[in-house]
Amino acid sequence: MNISQKVLAMSLSVSLLGAGTSVSQIAQAHDVSHESVTKTDSKAVELRSNLDMLLSEHAYLATDTMRKGAEGSKDFDASVKSLNMNTKDLSKAIGDVYGQEAGKEFEKMWAEHIGYFVDYVNATNDNDENARQEALKNLDNYREHFSQFLASATDEKLEAKGLSEGLQMHVNQLVSAFDASVNGDYDKAYKYERESIHHMYMVSKGLSNAITQQFPEDYHHTSATTKAADLRSDLNYLMSEHAILAADAMQNGYDGSKNYKASVKALEMNTKDLSKAIEGAYGKEAGMEFDKMWTEHIGYFVDYVEASKNKDEDAKKEAKSNLDNYSKEFGAFLSKATDNQLKSDELAEGLGMHVNQLLASFDAYTKGDYKTSTMKVREAYAHMFMPAKGLSQAIVMQNKSKFEMNMPKEMPDTGAQK
């Protein structure tokens, strides 16, 4: 899958083009309010965004943990703990919707499938092909059982067959990313990792749609599948992915890892996708300016890594100063682009948090404090969903009529959506 093409096929640029059904038809078809169609912070959209974060983080943490397990990395245990914490958070989210018992059952099954991935890693480390095949067989059985569980929970609004197909994609992507990494094909490993993260946004879209249809009053009769919701989700994906790819590249650069160049390449591809998204909303010139400034701030993070390796405190301070200045300049750029709907000082403050989280994670990593390092990465990941929320709402308000059209009347079965 070409991530850039996939993203451009979504709402960031496509939703700003063309016409379709009227907002009254949309509202009538979904029994939702006219106003909520153009909101990126409705109850339904907030649900989808929360599932975006938790499900995509699972994919990232799973690929990261599997890779570290094969490499025997010192931060492997901390990665496992982060993955387990994500499972707890996901289970709570399910429990909040379907009840405590459903949450417990979800957690049991979700933790079980993670265990099968661990079995696959261990079997690979032991060169035990039979054990590898057994792990894959267990994952195959799991997806059938888990699909039935979700189909039942959603009153068949998500079909078991489609869920099973989607889960198979999830398994294939994680296993392929791991196999490629073990075989030294790091470019392919990061390609599959990005695909695995992106895939989970399709799952969160389908699941949030099912939940809001089951419990419309709980979500104020709002929809999780409006064009405005798609826009926010697209930005959720691109911005949060930047955070984890940046953290990964910084660690790899410090360690001199074999996959450093591949991680930098993946980060650069994310930058291109983000820039294309901005271009889709604000035009080619704005997209080019965004690309220039975004690339510049990544360069300052690289400077910080190099200074840390060389134990050059002055160079570290200079890199941090450059990042602080960037936060102000970039805040002003986005404020202007959004017609001051996003305030430059608030943007600068948010960007400062982003910088501080990545640097805190990196500093902890260099000191061997892997618990703090992984915790800060999770914070950095979650934080990026905040600017995605603000920017998506600003874009919608600037192009409101364009987001009142073409809302789909029903969702696919969350197998291989889009």
Would 418 be classed as within a structural domain?
no
Together in a domain, 23 and 75: no
Examine the fold and report which residue of 219, 249, 284 is the final residue of a domain before the chain moves on. 219
pLDDT digits (tens, 9 = 90+) for 190-200: 999 999 999 99
pLDDT the model gives residue 32: 54
Residue 417 lies in a domain: no
171 and 314 share a domain? no
| Whole-angstrom distance, CA of residue 301 vs CA of residue 230 | 30
Does 385 lie in the same domain as 298?
A: yes
Query: Tens digits of per-residue pLDDT, 145-164?
Result: 999 999 999 999 999 999 99
Residue 137 has pLDDT above 90, yes or no: yes
Give the residue with greater pLDDT, 16 vs 201: 201
Pair (98, 33) in one structural domain: no
Claim to verify: residue 373 and residue 301 sit in the same structural domain: yes
End-to-end CA distance of the chain: 11
Residue 48 belongs to a domain: no
**Tokens 């993670």 -> residue:** 114
Domain closes at, from 219, 244, 273: 219
347 lies in the same domain as 248 = yes
Q: Which of 169, 188, 219 is the last residue of a domain?
A: 219
For residues 242 and 374, state if they share a domain: yes
Q: Picking from 8-17, 28-37, 253-262, which range would have the lowest pLDDT averaged per residue?
A: 8-17
Looking at the structure, do residues 300 and 205 belong to the same domain, yes or no? Answer: no
Does residue 182 sit in the same domain as residue 272?
no
- Pair 69, 145 in one domain: yes
- pLDDT (0 to 100) of residue 35: 61
Q: Are residues 172 and 272 in the same domain?
A: no
Domain membership of residue 174 (yes or no) is yes
Mean pLDDT of the chain: 90
**Enclosing domain of residue 344:** 1-42+224-412
Count up the domains in the chain and report the number: 2
Tens of pLDDT, residue by residue over 219-247, are 999 999 999 999 999 999 999 999 999 99
CB atoms within 10 A of CB 367: 10
Confidence tier at 404 by pLDDT (50, 70, 90): confident
pTM score, two decimals?
Answer: 0.90
* Residues 281 and 365 reside in one and the same domain: yes
